Structures are given as structure tokens and as C-alpha cells.
């Protein structure tokens, strides 16, 4: 009997270890930035777990962009670089196991790094947007706005009773965050929400990391989609109508 229990426990332990190893290996198979990204922004460096772009002339406003699941943070460098050229501090964090949901409070690190910044906007792509939404929901006093890129909040993060400025940019041909997903989640958004659809865009082109499994083929170039994202984000940050 004791041997049976012993072997049973060993079998359970082995199963747990194998499952974890399988998950770990899966999480390390990331989407990496393409050569096109390098040609657009040059070499991208990660320091202390962050890709950070500092502006030459500051608006005292910071933007934090959580990466999508298994997407390396450098893939969003074009958006970050373009925003920084307009005076914004922009940070993209590395996250545990390449899944932002494991590092929801990561934004606090950048906020502490730049105490002179007066306004903070957090957001993210796909699972990164879900994670940013969770951070914003739990820290409404710390954020001035929330943005979703091909993403939406989890059901437990209901912003409908808040007045938090929210921007939701979604893509017509997104195969992972569908138009139906966007419509179904609208009831969770605040009365200060702006929605913007990118015609011909898809899920993967919210970053620059190549095709993504399960996505649809875009009808516009990745550069065009990136420029639309930057333009819409800037107008929203500046309080302009879209």
C-alpha cells in the first residue's frame, strides 16, 4: 500500500513537472521583431527589462505599452519611437514567461523611474491590453487613460461606471480579436471611450513581428497600419477628435 501511494505521488509530481516544462517551452517560442522593424528604428536595446524611448522635449506625459502574448517587446518599438519624437516618454516592458498577464503591475517600475511625469497612459496589444486594463482598473488614481490595440478588458474589469478616457483601436481583418469580440466588450468600456477601426488591418500588424497563427491576411502594409496606430494614438493623447 505504501509503495502504491509512493509511486502515485511520484507519478503526479512527474506529470506536474512535464506539464510545466511543456508550458515553459511553449512560452519561450516567441514572435521576434522582423528585419523591417530594424530598418525603421535601428538597433533596439533592452535595459533593466524595458525598451524605453525618452523624448528630447518632454510633455511630462508617459505611455506604457504591454506586449501581446509571446511577442517580444522590441516589436512595438516603431510606435514607441514615433510617440517619443512628439514628446512622450514611452516604455515597453519585458514580462515573465512572455505573457503580460503574469506581470500586471510592471507599469509601476516605469512610473517610479520617472517621477517628474505628470500623466500616465497605459495600454497594450492583445493579452497585453487585457493586462494593462487590469492594472488600470486596480489603479484608477494612477492612470490618466487606457488604450487597447486589438484587445479589450476582461469581464471583471468593468469600466462602465468610470469616466476613464479609453481608446480602442481594432482591425477589420483581425483573426484573433474579432469584430464580434470588440462589439461584445463595448459594455465594459467607459462613457469616455473612443473606438477606431483600421480598415484592412490585422492582429499581427499591431506590432512588427511577422505573421501570427490564427490571424487573417492584412490588406494594408504593416508600415501603413503602424502609421495609422501612431496617428490615432497621438490625436487621442492630445485630445483631438478622431
Kindly list the domain boundaries of the chain, sorted by start residue: 1-30, 33-237
What is the pLDDT, as a whole number, of residue 21? 44
pLDDT tens digits for 164-176?
Answer: 999 999 999 999 9
pLDDT tens digits for 46-81?
Answer: 999 999 999 998 789 999 999 999 999 999 999 999
Per-residue pLDDT at 13 exceeds 60? no
pLDDT band at 186 (very low <50, low <70, confident <90, very high): very high
pLDDT band at 5 (very low <50, low <70, confident <90, very high): low
Per-residue pLDDT at 6 exceeds 70? no
Q: Dihedral of CA 92/219/198/234: which sign? A: positive
What is the pLDDT, as a whole number, of residue 143? 99
Query: Interhelix angle for 77-85 vs 222-237, to 10°?
Result: 40
What is the pLDDT, as a whole number, of residue 1? 53
Is CATH 3.40.50.1000 what the domain over 33-237 is classified as, yes or no?
no
Residue pair 133/148 in contact by the 8 Å Cβ criterion: yes
Laid out side by side, the sheet with 119-125 consists of 50-53, 89-93, 61-66, 119-125, 145-149, 166-171, 193-198
Per-residue pLDDT at 36 exceeds 60? yes
Residue pair 106/136 in contact by the 8 Å Cβ criterion: no
The rounded distance, in Å, linking the Cα atoms of 184 and 81 is: 32
pLDDT band at 24 (very low <50, low <70, confident <90, very high): very low
The rounded distance, in Å, linking the Cα atoms of 161 and 189 is: 8
Query: What is the average per-residue pLDDT within 188-212?
Result: 98
pLDDT band at 240 (very low <50, low <70, confident <90, very high): confident
The rounded distance, in Å, linking the Cα atoms of 166 and 206 is: 17
Per-residue pLDDT at 23 exceeds 60? no
What is the pLDDT, as a whole number, of residue 59? 80
The rounded distance, in Å, linking the Cα atoms of 103 and 131 is: 8
CA-based Rg of the chain, rounded to a whole angstrom?
A: 19
Query: What is the average per-residue pLDDT within 170-187?
Result: 98
Query: What is the average per-residue pLDDT within 180-208?
Result: 98
> Which residues on adjacent β-strands are paired with residue 32?
none
Q: What mean pLDDT value characterizes the chain?
A: 91
The DSSP H or E segment spanning 198 is strand 193-198
Which alpha helices (DSSP H) does the chain contain, by range? 2-28, 35-41, 77-85, 107-113, 127-138, 179-185, 222-237
pLDDT tens digits for 119-148?
Answer: 999 999 999 999 999 999 999 999 999 999
Strands 166-171 and 89-93 come out as: unpaired
Comparing 188 with 14, which gets the higher pLDDT? Answer: 188
Amino acid at each position: 500500500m505504501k509503495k502504491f501511494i509512493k509511486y502515485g505521488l511520484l507519478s503526479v509530481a512527474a506529470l506536474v513537472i512535464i506539464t510545466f516544462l511543456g508550458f515553459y517551452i511553449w512560452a519561450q517560442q516567441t514572435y521576434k521583431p522582423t528585419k523591417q522593424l530594424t530598418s525603421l528604428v535601428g538597433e533596439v536595446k533592452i535595459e533593466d527589462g524595458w525598451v524605453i524611448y525618452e523624448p528630447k522635449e518632454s510633455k511630462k506625459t508617459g505611455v506604457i505599452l504591454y506586449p501581446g502574448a509571446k511577442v517580444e517587446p522590441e516589436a512595438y518599438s516603431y510606435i514607441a519611437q514615433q510617440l517619443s519624437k512628439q514628446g512622450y516618454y514611452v516604455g515597453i516592458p519585458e514580462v515573465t514567461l512572455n505573457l503580460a498577464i503574469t506581470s500586471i503591475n510592471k507599469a509601476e517600475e516605469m512610473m517610479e523611474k520617472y517621477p517628474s511625469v505628470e500623466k500616465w497612459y497605459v495600454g497594450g496589444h492583445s493579452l497585453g491590453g487585457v493586462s494593462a486594463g487590469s492594472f488600470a482598473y486596480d489603479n484608477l488614481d494612477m492612470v490618466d487613460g487606457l488604450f487597447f490595440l486589438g484587445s479589450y478588458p476582461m469581464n471583471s474589469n468593468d469600466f462602465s461606471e468610470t469616466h476613464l478616457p479609453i481608446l480602442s483601436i481594432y482591425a477589420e481583418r483581425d483573426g484573433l480579436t474579432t469584430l464580434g469580440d470588440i462589439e461584445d466588450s463595448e459594455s465594459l468600456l467607459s462613457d469616455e471611450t473612443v473606438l477606431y477601426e483600421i480598415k484592412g488591418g490585422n492582429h499581427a500588424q499591431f506590432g512588427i513581428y511577422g505573421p501570427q497563427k490564427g490571424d487573417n491576411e492584412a490588406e494594408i502594409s504593416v508600415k501603413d497600419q503602424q502609421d495609422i496606430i501612431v496617428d490615432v494614438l497621438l490625436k487621442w493623447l492630445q485630445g483631438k477628435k478622431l
